[in-house]
Structure 1
Amino acid sequence: MEQIKDKNQLYPVFLKLEQLQVLLVGAGNVGLEKLQSLLVNSPDAYITIVAPFVKEELRTFISSYQNCKLVERSFEEDDLNGKELIVLATDDQELHRYIYSVAKERKILINVADTPELCDFYLGSIVQKGNLKIAISTNGKSPTVAKRLKEVLNDAMPAELDDVLENMNKVRSKLNGNFEYKVKKLNALTKVLVADETAESTERKWKKIATYSLLAFALMLIGHFIFSYIPFRQMADDTVAWYKTLDKNIHWMVLAGFLAQMVDGALGMGYGVTSASVLMTTGISPAAISGAIHTSEIFASASSGYSHYRFGNVNKKLFKALVIPGVIGAAVGAVFLVTIGEEYGSWMRPAIAVYTLLLGIKFIINAFREMKPQKKFKRYRLLAAFGGFFDSFGGGGWGPIVTSTLINNGRSHKYVIGSVSLTEFFITLTSAFTFFTLIGVSHWQVIVALMLGSFIAAPLAARLAGKLPKKTSYLLLGILVIIWSGKILVKIL
């Protein structure tokens, strides 16, 4: 018995409120919350609300419920006449205790907001999917936990559950026989939902064995054909000859792709910055570097953006605010670089480098202090256009400019990274298309090398992503942005 007393001993019931007379005392914020809970679940309930002061939102809310009666005055004992259920929602504890004592004499069930010891019943959090309704109770211990569980269940339970109930109801109505027979038949139909998966698991296991065995045999046949009929020595000689025709800096290009993907995969930014920094040492023209980076980055950003979207890291409103201006900025930046970029780059690059240098320093400062809410940032479109422009113009910079600015202005790190990563796909696609149109694809070796390096690094970066502490992430982001900015400034000076 000791163990039973420690548990929730409440007995759950579902009331037909349309057949009961309910009294609600209080019409403020708490009263509105209680009333909404009652009427949302039982729109035809008969409820009398008594309160000297009525919140305007409550008055508006009940205007569409004909069975509700509003009495604007203080509570009187006669208000209990004919009532079968009482809910108290005022901030007057003495009034609550008085009504409770009178209700007990009249044997009327009562609920008192935030006072469990005066409650005969609790108003639990409710999850509803059509005809399916689940009430959650924490025995009055924590309404907040009940609300959180409600949110979890609402997201986890599919809306199609109501269709399942309707189908089961149709099946039940078509079954002939007594109640016991119907129960047995329905149990048999639904047994598959909770059946032991051992047999199914064993079947899957043998299917895998058969599939892999067949695949191995097929590979043996293919291998025999290849080794018997294809001149491997000639292929090896041709491969070596072809390798010698490649750019002498091909190793640096592959390394650029590898390092860029490692940085971008772990920190959510830096692909263009890192790869451009390495490729600039190879003597390739800035336009070709930018075009190659954006071409290879299309595949990396597509995978990254889709993953963030799938796992709920994308703020749709933020994405919509960034994508169109960013795309326009990227196209303009690409055209600007190919046509008159060299003429104006001498003063634009240092200005951007100084800006991002300050952002990098701010990252490092924020790593050692608690982030406080700042004024709401409103210039998303201008920031996106600016970031897209310089991303094309400078061969990288979308992450350092846009991500750094938004995070340093107090936006959630998770949603900034997700939204900016998804937007980056459209930015890189626009830049690559523009560069293809203007200068073609003559530097295909750079593109392939970057993609190869990224492909090698992707699994390693994926394992590292999300495992870095916030302080470490901020420090690495700050250092990365400072190095990128400093390199531009040093080169100019």
Structure 2
Amino acid sequence: MELGNDFYWFILIGLAAQLVDGALGMAFGLVSTSVLLAMGLPPASISAAVHTAKVFTTGASGGSHALMGNVDRILLLRLAVPGVIGGVIGAYALTRVPGNLFRPVTCIYLLVLAALILRRVGRHRPPEVVSTASHQRQVPAVGFFAGLLDAIGGGGWGSLSTATLLASGSKARATIGTVSLAEFAVTLAISLTFVFTVRMEYARIVAGLVIGGVLAAPVAALLVKRLPERIILGSVGVLALVVSAYQLVLFNA
């Protein structure tokens, strides 16, 4: 295929993927990778392009959420630092252990979280305060394992961390904004090698995804600020179900 002729499609893919990811705290990789695979591009090149683009889109998304007041600074530190450590370890482990070994466990875990989130929506459970002591003790473990599995599985930071924190009772707005900003640090740690290994003929994919993602980031952050809590929670629960089911289908294919 002639990549130059599809540059505007890459922009649209990046815009759509970031609207979903920025508004719900997950699925940039899922949306963009799925569409690019359908376009017939090589999986290795897609992985490199998507991870490289996410360095820029997560920075724009996280910055937009910070400007909109959607970020909890204490939660950010407790989530990002262990996430970076887990991501670096996962990236190293990926050279030794096949990432597909972890996919079924991750998908089942995400299915359980989705059920818990949707149950919370159905019960009209009021949001808890993110900074409670018992909740804060769980956050570093969530960040570490989300970063670890994101690196090993090629994605999943937002799906795992957002769904876990929301299922435990966190406020949706602060959780999504904070997870989005923390993802920048985690993605940068995981993706540094991709910056130097993306083949130049695929640089247009990266550029298109970045342009679309950066344009969509402020809009997504504004949606999080304005949408009611129950709508956000319900959307995250449904998306978590779709993501986990899709990954299980791919694994069994």
The question of whether the paired residues in 1 share the 8 Å contact of 2:45 and 2:198 is answered with no
The question of whether the paired residues in 1 share the 8 Å contact of 2:15 and 2:209 is answered with yes
Give the distance between the partners of 1:279 and 1:394, measured in 2 at CA.
18
State the one-letter code of the partner of 1:398. Answer: W
Provide closer, same or farther for how the CA distance between residues 406 and 464 of structure 1 changes in structure 2, counting only shifts above 3 A.
closer
The question of whether the paired residues in 2 share the 8 Å contact of 1:257 and 1:449 is answered with yes
The question of whether the paired residues in 1 share the 8 Å contact of 2:23 and 2:220 is answered with yes
Provide closer, same or farther for how the CA distance between residues 357 and 333 of structure 1 changes in structure 2, counting only shifts above 3 A.
same
Partner of 1:309: 66
How far has the Cα of 1:334 moved from its partner? Answer: 3.0
Partner of 1:360: 114
User: Structure 1 unaligned runs (5+)?
Assistant: 1-243
Provide closer, same or farther for how the CA distance between residues 389 and 287 of structure 1 changes in structure 2, counting only shifts above 3 A.
farther
- The percentage of counterpart residues that share the same residue type is 37
Considering fraction of residues, name the structure with more helix.
Answer: 2
User: Radius of gyration: which is bigger?
Assistant: 1
Give the distance between the partners of 1:361 and 1:444, measured in 2 at CA.
39
Partner of 1:162: none
Partner of 1:427: 186
How far has the Cα of 1:401 moved from its partner? Answer: 0.4
State the one-letter code of the partner of 1:448. Answer: A
Give the distance between the partners of 2:21 and 2:209, measured in 1 at CA.
13
Give the distance between the partners of 1:375 and 1:479, measured in 2 at CA.
29
State the one-letter code of the partner of 2:106. Answer: I
The question of whether the paired residues in 1 share the 8 Å contact of 2:14 and 2:209 is answered with yes
Superposed CA deviations along residues 127-176 of structure 1, whole A, max 9, x for unmatched, are xxxxxxxxxxxxxxxxxxxxxxxxxxxxxxxxxxxxxxxxxxxxxxxxxx
Superposed CA deviations along residues 101-150 of structure 1, whole A, max 9, x for unmatched, are xxxxxxxxxxxxxxxxxxxxxxxxxxxxxxxxxxxxxxxxxxxxxxxxxx
TM-score by length of 1: 0.45
Q: How do residues 250-329 of structure 1 correspond to structure 2 at under 5 angstroms?
A: 253-329=10-86
Give the distance between the partners of 1:375 and 1:456, measured in 2 at CA.
37
The question of whether the paired residues in 2 share the 8 Å contact of 1:290 and 1:392 is answered with no
Superposed CA deviations along residues 5-43 of structure 1, whole A, max 9, x for unmatched, are xxxxxxxxxxxxxxxxxxxxxxxxxxxxxxxxxxxxxxx
Superposed CA deviations along residues 31-87 of structure 1, whole A, max 9, x for unmatched, are xxxxxxxxxxxxxxxxxxxxxxxxxxxxxxxxxxxxxxxxxxxxxxxxxxxxxxxxx
Superposed CA deviations along residues 377-416 of structure 1, whole A, max 9, x for unmatched, are 3232222121112223333211110111111111222322
Partner of 2:244: 485
The question of whether the paired residues in 1 share the 8 Å contact of 2:84 and 2:186 is answered with yes
CA RMSD in angstroms, aligned pairs only:
2.8
Structure 2 counterpart of 1:330, from 76, 79, 87:
87
Give the distance between the partners of 1:310 and 1:255, measured in 2 at CA.
24
Partner of 1:143: none
Structure 2 counterpart of 1:348, from 97, 102, 105:
102
How far has the Cα of 1:462 moved from its partner? Answer: 5.2
Partner of 1:467: 226
State the one-letter code of the partner of 2:117. Answer: F
Provide closer, same or farther for how the CA distance between residues 415 and 263 of structure 1 changes in structure 2, counting only shifts above 3 A.
same
How far has the Cα of 1:249 moved from its partner? Answer: 6.3
Secondary structure of the residue aligned to 1:376 is: helix
User: Structure 2 unaligned runs (5+)?
Assistant: none
Structure 2 counterpart of 1:417, from 160, 167, 176:
176
Partner of 1:403: 162
Provide closer, same or farther for how the CA distance between residues 382 and 287 of structure 1 changes in structure 2, counting only shifts above 3 A.
farther
Provide closer, same or farther for how the CA distance between residues 419 and 346 of structure 1 changes in structure 2, counting only shifts above 3 A.
closer
Q: How do residues 25-174 of structure 1 correspond to structure 2 at under 5 angstroms?
A: none
How far has the Cα of 1:279 moved from its partner? Answer: 2.6
Q: How do residues 166-185 of structure 1 correspond to structure 2 at under 5 angstroms?
A: none
Give the distance between the partners of 1:460 and 1:314, measured in 2 at CA.
16
Matched, 1:376 2:130: no
The question of whether the paired residues in 2 share the 8 Å contact of 1:368 and 1:471 is answered with no
Give the distance between the partners of 2:170 and 2:82, measured in 1 at CA.
19
Provide closer, same or farther for how the CA distance between residues 460 and 403 of structure 1 changes in structure 2, counting only shifts above 3 A.
closer
How far has the Cα of 1:477 moved from its partner? Answer: 0.9
The question of whether the paired residues in 2 share the 8 Å contact of 1:290 and 1:393 is answered with no
Partner of 1:211: none
Partner of 2:212: 453
Provide closer, same or farther for how the CA distance between residues 406 and 465 of structure 1 changes in structure 2, counting only shifts above 3 A.
closer
Give the distance between the partners of 1:405 and 1:429, measured in 2 at CA.
22
Provide closer, same or farther for how the CA distance between residues 285 and 392 of structure 1 changes in structure 2, counting only shifts above 3 A.
farther
Superposed CA deviations along residues 331-357 of structure 1, whole A, max 9, x for unmatched, are 2333444x345xx23321111011112
Provide closer, same or farther for how the CA distance between residues 288 and 246 of structure 1 changes in structure 2, counting only shifts above 3 A.
closer
State the one-letter code of the partner of 1:470. Answer: E
Give the distance between the partners of 1:258 and 1:414, measured in 2 at CA.
21
Task: Tell me which of the two structures has the higher relative contact order, counting C-alpha pairs closer than 8 angstroms and 6 or more residues apart.
Answer: 2
